[in-house]
Amino acid sequence: MNTFNELDELLRLERYRSSLIRFETLGTIETREAAYPVKAIVIGSDDRSLPTLGFFGGVHGLEKVGSQILLAFFHSFFYQLTWDRDLVKSLDGYRIVSIPIINPGGMARSTRCNPCNVDLMRNAPVEADPEHTLPLISGHRVSPQLPWYRGEAGKGLEKEAQILVDFVKREMFEAQMALSLDVHSGFGVRDQIWYPYAKTKAEFPRKAAALKLKALLDTTFPHHIYKYECQSDNYITSGDLWDYLFDGHHEQEKDRVFLPLTLELGSWNWIRKNPVQFFSKAGLFHPMKHHRHSRIMRRHLILLNFLLRAVRNHSAWLEA
């Protein structure tokens, strides 16, 4: 197997032996050069009705920093499970599920799309409001040679997208409360947390829950760095997998909350501070200087830990 750093890191995580951590290979992505596993991690109880937090990354292969943040988080979390009995005990009450590298073929090749040139975040059977769409970026079926290609009409989901959808349905849909964070990079100057929809400016049915979480974050960490808003305040897209999953869940589980969030790291700022990055393909999506990279690894740990506690204690703020 041809490998790459993030996949190596993910495979290294399997060295942590604990009855609380389970690894699973959900599928294999074949490219001309090699085959790559899509790996999942499930932490905590087998009881899928418990509140569940999902961490996802690497949907867009170029945006490696999202996977790196999750992998750094898991290394730290798994190590803490070897000595922190309170943390071990807390896992009686919630679960964490993750696919840290959804698009390993794209990551190996440093492309946004998967090895079939499909943008996985435009691939779902979800059509955006036509009056607000932008040419190409909102998703298109013009040509796989252009970015944001949705895939052939009627062909169904790409393998990676299907793996994600099946995993989220299996691991998150039965939960009494579910929250996911999908980490991306490359848009804007600030780190942004987005709640759905991507497809429309119409109101998201769980807007109240999304805003309660925002209030909790704002009050708990008044100096946090995130801009928190609806995804459609930024741009509208067709084919968003989280819109698709949310709608599927909402139809089926009217009484339960599933809140799929996106963390979009504001990489334009990294470019402003280090303009040389503009000339590097990887640099558009990554902080290249070492000190900046360490800071980015560190600065999101507060958010990830906050989300753990918010999910575990959801009744304290969601029903308040």
Is 59 in contact with 185 (CB distance < 8 Å)?
A: no
Nearer to Zn ion, 168 or 216 (CB): 168
- Interface with Zn ion by CB under 5 A: which range of 60-68, 166-174, 274-282, 299-307? 60-68
Q: Which of residues 174-193 bind Zn ion (CB under 5 A)?
A: 184
Strands 192-195 and 177-185 come out as: unpaired
CA distance 306 to 227: 16
Residue 60 within binding range of Zn ion, rule CB under 5 A: yes
Listed residue (5, 68, 51, 62) closest to 292, CA to CA? 68
Least distance CB 263 / Zn ion (angstroms): 10
CA distance 230 to 240: 14
Nearer to Zn ion, 78 or 149 (CB): 149
Least distance CB 12 / Zn ion (angstroms): 25
Least distance CB 133 / Zn ion (angstroms): 18
Least distance CB 45 / Zn ion (angstroms): 31
Nearer to Zn ion, 60 or 249 (CB): 60
Nearer to Zn ion, 252 or 280 (CB): 280
Nearer to Zn ion, 64 or 312 (CB): 64
Least distance CB 140 / Zn ion (angstroms): 17
CA 216 vs CA 84, 192, 317: distances in Å:
26, 16, 7
Least distance CB 212 / Zn ion (angstroms): 26
Residue 199 within binding range of Zn ion, rule CB under 5 A: no
Least distance CB 60 / Zn ion (angstroms): 4
Least distance CB 70 / Zn ion (angstroms): 14
Nearer to Zn ion, 122 or 159 (CB): 122
Strands 227-230 and 192-195 come out as: parallel
Phi, psi for 75 (deg, rounded to 5): -55, -45
CA of residue 22 relative to chain centroid, distance = 19
CA 40 vs CA 8, 29, 57, 90, 315: distances in Å:
14, 14, 11, 21, 27
Nearer to Zn ion, 194 or 228 (CB): 194
Q: Could you give the angle at the alpha carbon of 289 between the alpha carbons of 288 and 293, nearest 5°?
A: 80
Residue 122 within binding range of Zn ion, rule CB under 5 A: no
Q: Prior bond to 197 cis, omega within 30?
A: yes
Nearest residue to Zn ion by CB is: 184
CA distance 284 to 279: 8
Residues in contact with Zn ion, counted by CB under 5 A, come to a total of: 3
User: What count of other Cβ atoms lies within 10 Å of the Cβ of residue 86?
Assistant: 7
Tokens 């998150």 identify what position?
172
Nearer to Zn ion, 133 or 231 (CB): 231
Nearer to Zn ion, 21 or 296 (CB): 296
Binding mask 61-100 for Zn ion (x = CB under 5 A): --x-------------------------------------
- Interface with Zn ion by CB under 5 A: which range of 53-61, 96-104, 144-152, 247-255? 53-61
Distance from the first to the final alpha carbon of the chain: 50
Binding site for Zn ion (CB under 5 A): 60, 63, 184
